[in-house]
Amino acid sequence: MAVELLSRVQFGFSIGFHILFPTLNLGLAIFLVIMEGLWLKTKDPVYLEICKFWTKIFALTFGMGVVSGIVLAYQIGTNFGPFITQFGNVLGALFAYETLTAFFLEAGFLGVMLFGWQRVPRPLHFIATLLVTFGTTVSAFWIMSANSWMQTPSGYQIIDGKYIVDSWWAVVLNPSFIPRFIHMLLASYVTTCFVVMAVASFYFLKKTNLLLAKKCLSFALWASLIVVPVQIFVGDIVGINVHHYQPLKTAAMEGVWETQKGAPLVLFAWPSQEKQENEYTLSIPKLASLINTHDLNGEMLGLKSVAPSEQPRVAPVFFSFRVMVGIGVLMLLTAFFGLFLRVRGHLYSNKWFHRWCIAIAPLGFVASISGWLTAEIGRQPWVVYNLLKTSNAVSAIGTEEVIISFVLLILAYGVIFGFYLYYVFKLIRLGPQRIETEQIEDHSFQYMTALPREKD
């Protein structure tokens, strides 16, 4: 039991650390494509400054994602050996596809993104940015497909106690994959919007790089007005999907203990696993059924429909879900308040709004981790839903080995993350590289005509 708990906590810590970096890079990649496209169209040098500045942060974040992602693969092999033995034929292939199609694409063209500004023609550099963005998105595609398969397994058959692929289409496009994949992409885009807003707000408060800050803040706010409401809509679709395929997870999210029709939405409570009930409850009648079934009298399965040993831990699922939703609502209000300031003509001068943007910048990451905790803890006690319990997936290793590796991991990640934050904040303090307008206009033409002139 101790090894299982420690292994789960260690893996949770590792993947929670890792998810920070793909979350930012998925959104930054799209942001860079748009900014570089605007530079090519308008020839405005500020867009080039934006691209060069954020590409450096993208590269740093990409490196952190690679390092922390490799550790996860080793942890699965060392701490969850029986899981790999039974499901390696299914999930191993998905992870391999992610490496072959996505990682090589990202790594292959990242160098052009970073160092090719004056070495390749503008259209070729833009293509490199597009390919890195495509690779980043494809990477998320395969990872989310593998994780979603663990939530809603399909397309398999059992041969000699191992799970073998029966239909690759059914495995990759499993029932929960598409809405969860879109939900993850949108979470990344929302997170990136608020990070960009925070950096722009920092420059407004420091009264430096104002042209860049205006374009970044304006774009990020317009984007947030689109992606935050869309994310809330997609979140509703994900919730319907979860209720259909994993009703006990929904019951934990909503704090529903008894199977009932017209279940109330519990705004606040203290779920007691021991008493099998909620304490200090504040609720709205029938709203949980309406949200999760789109019917005021829709039936929701209660946690008591199974033995306590078959239930997920309700409190962490219940509270992490509310943290995620609460942050989403807060971001929506921020986007609308930004629109209000824009209409009033105070968007670039309201210091309190700029301070607020800086303060809430980390909340996108908090919401992403909270959503992941909701999905993963809510799936328990299964590591692959209804096929393999987590208690049967843990390797036969000693408690001391897990503790030692966990302590070393925390120390290593602490040092690495400290250096990452140091360099990111240093880049932000220094600001974007100053670029001469004449150099921007002429460098691609000079590159493409240099060789013919030498021959002449």
pLDDT of residue 448: 35
Gap between the Cα atoms of 67 and 423, Å rounded: 16
**How many CB atoms lie under 10 A from the CB of residue 189?**
23
Q: Find residue 278's DSSP bridge partners.
A: 271
pLDDT of residue 434: 57
SS (H, E, C) the chain: CHHHHHHHHHHHHHHHHHHHHHHHHHHHHHHHHHHHHHHHHHCCHHHHHHHHHHHHHHHHHHHHHHHHHHHHHHHHHHHCHHHHHHHHHHHHHHHHHHHHHHHHHHHHHHHHHHHCCCCCCHHHHHHHHHHHHHHHHHHHHHHHHHHHHHHCCCCEEEECCEEEECCHHHHHCCCCHHHHHHHHHHHHHHHHHHHHHHHHHHHHHHCCCHHHHHHHHHHHHHHHHHHHHHHHHHHHHHHHHHHHHCHHHHHHHHCCCCCEECCCEEEEEEEECCCCEEEEEEEECCHHHHHHHCCCCCEECCHHHCCHHHCCCHHHHHHHHHHHHHHHHHHHHHHHHHHHHHHHCCCCCCHHHHHHHHHCCCHHHHHHHHHHHHHHHHHCCEEECCCEEHHHCCCCCCHHHHHHHHHHHHHHHHHHHHHHHHHHHHHHHHCCCCCCHHHHHHHHHHHHHHHHHHHC
The yes-or-no verdict on residue 98 having pLDDT over 50 is yes
What burial class does residue 131 get, using C-beta atoms within 10 Å of its C-beta: 0-12 exposed, 13-18 middle, 19+ buried? Answer: middle
pLDDT of residue 99: 81
pLDDT tens digit string along 101-111? 887 888 888 88
Residue 1: which pLDDT band, with cuts at 50, 70 and 90? low
**Which residue, 325, 366, 327, 331, is CA-closest to 19?**
366
The yes-or-no verdict on residue 137 having pLDDT over 90 is yes
Contact indicator for 281, 265 with CB cutoff of 8 Å: no
pLDDT of residue 75: 86
Q: What is the mean pLDDT of residues 1-20?
A: 88
pLDDT tens digit string along 299-311? 999 999 999 999 9
The yes-or-no verdict on residue 452 having pLDDT over 50 is no
Residue 92: which pLDDT band, with cuts at 50, 70 and 90? confident
Contact indicator for 145, 157 with CB cutoff of 8 Å: no
Tell me phi and psi for residue 302, to 5 degrees. -95, 155
Q: What is the mean pLDDT of residues 303-325?
A: 94
User: Any idea of the CA torsion for 377, 383, 385, 386, to the nearest 10 degrees?
Assistant: -120
Q: What is the mean pLDDT of residues 272-280?
A: 92
pLDDT tens digit string along 334-357? 999 999 999 999 999 999 999 999
Residue 296: which pLDDT band, with cuts at 50, 70 and 90? very high
pLDDT of residue 450: 38
Q: Which residue has the tokens 């990640």?
A: 413
Q: Find residue 275's DSSP bridge partners.
A: none
Sequence-distant (≥ 6) Cβ neighbours of residue 76 within 8 angstroms: 11, 83, 84
- Residue scoring higher pLDDT (454 or 174): 174
The yes-or-no verdict on residue 435 having pLDDT over 70 is no
Average the pLDDT over each of 40-44, 134-138, 150-154, 398-402 and give the range with the smallest value: 398-402
Average the pLDDT over each of 22-36, 153-167, 218-232, 428-442 and give the range with the smallest value: 428-442
Q: Which residue has the tokens 């060392």?
A: 78
pLDDT of residue 402: 87
pLDDT of residue 433: 66
Average the pLDDT over each of 65-79, 236-250, 278-292 and give the range with the smallest value: 65-79
Q: What is the mean pLDDT of residues 120-125?
A: 92
At how many degrees (to 10) do helices 351-359 and 314-344 cross? 160
Structure tokens at 275: 């008493």
The yes-or-no verdict on residue 293 having pLDDT over 80 is yes
Residue 377: which pLDDT band, with cuts at 50, 70 and 90? very high
pLDDT tens digit string along 383-405? 999 999 999 988 888 888 889 98
The yes-or-no verdict on residue 438 having pLDDT over 50 is no
pLDDT tens digit string along 173-205? 999 999 999 999 999 999 999 999 999 999 999
pLDDT of residue 136: 92
At how many degrees (to 10) do helices 104-115 and 45-79 cross? 150
- Residue scoring higher pLDDT (451 or 365): 365
The yes-or-no verdict on residue 90 having pLDDT over 70 is yes
Does the pTM exceed 0.75? yes
